[in-house]
């Protein structure tokens, strides 16, 4: 199945309404597609909001009595429309409540989705940094200076990483390697601060959720600090366990060296 086909089946998949073969196909696709996995999570959150967080307003006593009177009327002699109207009244009332509540739900859904996607980017940056640290060969090109590291990426990436900070006595550049950020290749530049390695991931920015406010966002996650920002078509993630102020200082140097 393509991503578009899978997303059409997500609601039925979550509710177990698909045939066994289709259910297995969708599950296999989700296991290997991070984009559709995020879409599945969004659908589950929307379902939860619709089922549990819509405002509920009790009917007035007068409305209850009027509905009870209509439902107790004998069906004999009534037109087919009258019979259908009585049956549809509760559904129409429920639909009215949903229509009133939908702007709130969509606002909450958008806010919740933005927060989840931002959190996912932070978690991905930490995971990628840990992969660099645990790699048997964290540096595929050791630094002889930025003029040697940047050309090494040519032919290994489908974009040219824009990094101009050469490193200095506080944050020397140790080298680089090719990594991944979600589903896309990333250039990895490794700086250090004393004994602390610092990973800078540079990747294509499109298709990812970035903060509405301009500039970098800084988040603490699992003992690491992550600084995320976007510059044109490229995204940047800076990760380390150094002091938060020191990492933001390096982020400022990377930005000012443009």
In angstroms, the first-to-last Cα distance of the chain is: 43
Q: 199: buried, middle or exposed (CB in 10 Å: 19+, 13-18, 0-12)?
A: buried
Q: How far, rounded to the nearest angstrom, does the alpha carbon of residue 120 sit from its chain's CA centroid?
A: 5
The β-bridge partners of 196 are: 193
Nearest alpha-carbon partner for 26 in 3, 47, 46, 42: 3
- The sheet carrying 196-204 orders its strands as 141-142, 173-181, 184-193, 196-204, 234-240, 224-231, 217-221
Label residue 219 by pLDDT band (50, 70, 90). Answer: very high
Tell me what pLDDT residue 46 has: 73
DSSP for 158-203, please give it: SS---------SSS-EEEEEEEEETTEEEEEEEEEETTEEEEEEEE
User: Residue 121's closest CA among 29, 207, 242, 231?
Assistant: 207
Identify the pLDDT of residue 118: 80
- Picking from 30, 57, 56, 32, the residue whose alpha carbon sits closest to that of residue 44 is 30
Q: Reduce the DSSP state of residue 230 to 3 states and report it.
A: strand
Average pLDDT, the chain: 81
pLDDT of 50 reads: 61
Q: What is the pLDDT of residues 99-138, one digit of tens each?
A: 555 555 544 454 566 677 788 899 999 999 999 988 888 8
Q: What is the pLDDT of residues 19-41, one digit of tens each?
A: 888 888 988 998 889 888 888 88
Per residue in 61-98, pLDDT tens? 666 666 666 655 555 555 554 555 555 555 555 555 55
């Amino acid at each position: 199945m393509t991503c578009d086909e899978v997303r059409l089946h997500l609601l039925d998949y979550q509710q177990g309404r698909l045939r066994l073969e289709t259910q297995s196909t969708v599950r296999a696709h989700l296991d290997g597609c991070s984009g559709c996995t995020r879409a599945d999570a969004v659908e589950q959150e929307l379902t939860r909001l619709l089922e549990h967080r819509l405002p509920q307003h009790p009917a007035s006593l007068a409305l209850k009595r009027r509905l009870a009177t209509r439902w107790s009327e004998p069906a004999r002699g009534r037109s087919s429309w009258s019979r259908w109207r009585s049956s549809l009244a509760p559904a129409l009332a429920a639909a009215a409540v949903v229509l009133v509540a939908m702007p709130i739900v969509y606002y909450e859904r958008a806010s919740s989705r933005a927060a989840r996607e931002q959190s996912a980017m932070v978690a991905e940056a930490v995971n990628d940094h840990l992969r660099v640290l645990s790699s048997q060969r964290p540096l595929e090109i050791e630094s002889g200076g930025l003029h040697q590291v940047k050309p090494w990426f040519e032919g290994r990436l489908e974009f040219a990483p824009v990094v101009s900070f050469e490193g200095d006595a506080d944050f020397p550049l140790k080298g680089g390697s090719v990594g991944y950020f979600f589903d896309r290749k990333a250039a990895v530049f490794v700086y250090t601060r004393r004994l602390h390695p610092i990973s800078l991931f540079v990747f294509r920015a499109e298709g990812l959720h970035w903060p509405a406010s301009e500039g970098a966002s800084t988040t603490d996650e699992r003992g690491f600090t992550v600084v995320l920002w976007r510059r044109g078509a490229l995204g940047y993630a800076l990760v380390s366990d150094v002091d938060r102020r020191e990492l933001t200082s390096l982020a400022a140097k990377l930005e000012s060296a443009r």
